[in-house]
Each structure stands twice: as structure tokens, then as C-alpha cells.
């Protein structure tokens, strides 16, 4: 096929692309990890890897890893994406605890659109603690009674957090467990 014929063949597709481009975007949400990685309480995968790059900046930090094991094949490039810098700090993470070449183990959610991205539910660097990266999932796991078996260090800002984003069922269970104070905020560790 000549290049001219190729271009002629491409014209209908180009028109379709124009029509698609003129469509208004249906969703204009704020940064929402659940839109890209699934619900807070959904199943996680376990991943191990080596850090190859760190971008500690806003609007969200990211860490590139090359997988070495876990539920993903070894030797693949994946990007961990997470909170803005201030929220990472609130969760108890600092830039200095990550370095290129470090070994990481994590639990996380894969991107729902098949992109090579993971939102970490919890991260362990080298021989450090497995630290929570999402307080609402801590709440869900506490309410389900599975938190202790995960051996996750809870988010540094778990105590005093409003639990609404963990879902009504979790809020009701936490209340029943005596883990909400008079303002409805999370009490952790239990009194």
C-alpha cells in the first residue's frame, strides 16, 4: 500500500478522533486513588523489588522499583504512586528512609486499567517495619479483625482520624468495638 493510500485510509479514523476529542470529559474528580486502584478494602498483592528512582514531590510522590519477587514476575518495572509529601509525612514516612538500591516489600493495589503502577497499602524498606500507607484500610482491617495478623505498623495519624472514608459498615463496627471517641474519631491503640 502506498503512503498516500495509507493517509487516505487514516482519514476516517482521524475524523473519529476529532469527534472523540470534542466530547466533554465525563468525570472531573479530585485526586482519588480508588478510581485508579480500586476500593480501600479490596484484595492486595505482595510485591518485592529494588528501588531504582524516587520522586518525592507534589502533587504525589512516586517510587520506581524493579521487581524481584512476590506476586509479580521478577525483572519488571513498576511505579509506586502515593500521597502528596505532607500526607506521606503525616503517615510517618520521610524521604530519607528511601534510597536507590534499597529493597522494598509491600502490599498494594495494582492499577485497575492495567498500567504498571501500584498504590502501596503498606511498605517495608530493607529490614524496617512494614508501615501502613493508608489509614482507612487500617480501619477496615481492624474492624474485620485481620489487622494484627498482617503485622503492619499502623499509620502514624490513625489515632484521631475521622473514619467516614472507611465506609459506614466499618464505622459502625469500630463504634461497636469502642474504638471511636465522643467526636467519632478513631482511638488507636485501644484504651
Partner 1 sequence: MRQILVSAVVAAVVCVGLFLIEDRFDDDDAAATPVGVAGSRAPISLRYTAEPAEDSWVAGARGAGADDRVLSSAANSICFLTKIEVKGVQGPEDSGTCRVAVDDFTGFWQVTADVPEGSKSEIRCNARCLVWE
Given the rule CB under 8 A, which residues bind partner 1? 1, 3, 6-7, 9-11, 13-18, 20-23, 25-32, 35-36, 52-53, 57-60, 64, 77-79, 111, 113-117
Enumerate residues 6+ apart whose C-beta is below 8 A from 13.
Answer: none
Least distance (Å) between residue 126 CB and partner 1? 22
C-alpha distances in Å from residue 155, one per residue of 53, 139, 177: 24, 10, 19
User: Could you tell me the smallest distance in angstroms from the CB atom of residue 76 to partner 1?
Assistant: 9
Minimum Å gap between C-beta 73 and partner 1 is 15
Residues 6+ apart with CB under 8 A from 9: 1
Whose Cβ is closer to partner 1: residue 115's or residue 164's?
A: 115
Residue with smaller CB distance to partner 1, 10 or 177: 10
Cβ atoms within 10 A of the Cβ of 127, count?
A: 6
Closest CA to 118 of 27, 36, 2: 36
Q: State in angstroms the smallest separation of the CB of 55 from partner 1.
A: 9
Q: H-helix or E-strand containing 64?
A: strand 62-70
Between 32 and 149, CB nearer to partner 1:
32
Amino acid at each position: 500500500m502506498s503512503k498516500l493510500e495509507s493517509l487516505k485510509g487514516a482519514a476516517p479514523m482521524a475524523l473519529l478522533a476529532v469527534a472523540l476529542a470534542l466530547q466533554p470529559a465525563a468525570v472531573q474528580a479530585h485526586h482519588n486513588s480508588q478510581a485508579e486502584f480500586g476500593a480501600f478494602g479490596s484484595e492486595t498483592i505482595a510485591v518485592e523489588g529494588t528501588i531504582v528512582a524516587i520522586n518525592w514531590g507534589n502533587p504525589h510522590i512516586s517510587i520506581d522499583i524493579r521487581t524481584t519477587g512476590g506476586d509479580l514476575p521478577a525483572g519488571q518495572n513498576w511505579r509506586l504512586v502515593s500521597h502528596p509529601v505532607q500526607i506521606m509525612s503525616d503517615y510517618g514516612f520521610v524521604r530519607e528512609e528511601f534510597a536507590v538500591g534499597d529493597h522494598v516489600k509491600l502490599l498494594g493495589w495494582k492499577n485497575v486499567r492495567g498500567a504498571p503502577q501500584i498504590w502501596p497499602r503498606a511498605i517495608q524498606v530493607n529490614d524496617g517495619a512494614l508501615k501502613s500507607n493508608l489509614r482507612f484500610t487500617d480501619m477496615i482491617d481492624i474492624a474485620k479483625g485481620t489487622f494484627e495478623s498482617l503485622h503492619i505498623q499502623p499509620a502514624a495519624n490513625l489515632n484521631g482520624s475521622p473514619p467516614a472514608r472507611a465506609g459506614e459498615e466499618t464505622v459502625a463496627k469500630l463504634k461497636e468495638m469502642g474504638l471511636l471517641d465522643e467526636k467519632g474519631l478513631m482511638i488507636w491503640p485501644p484504651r
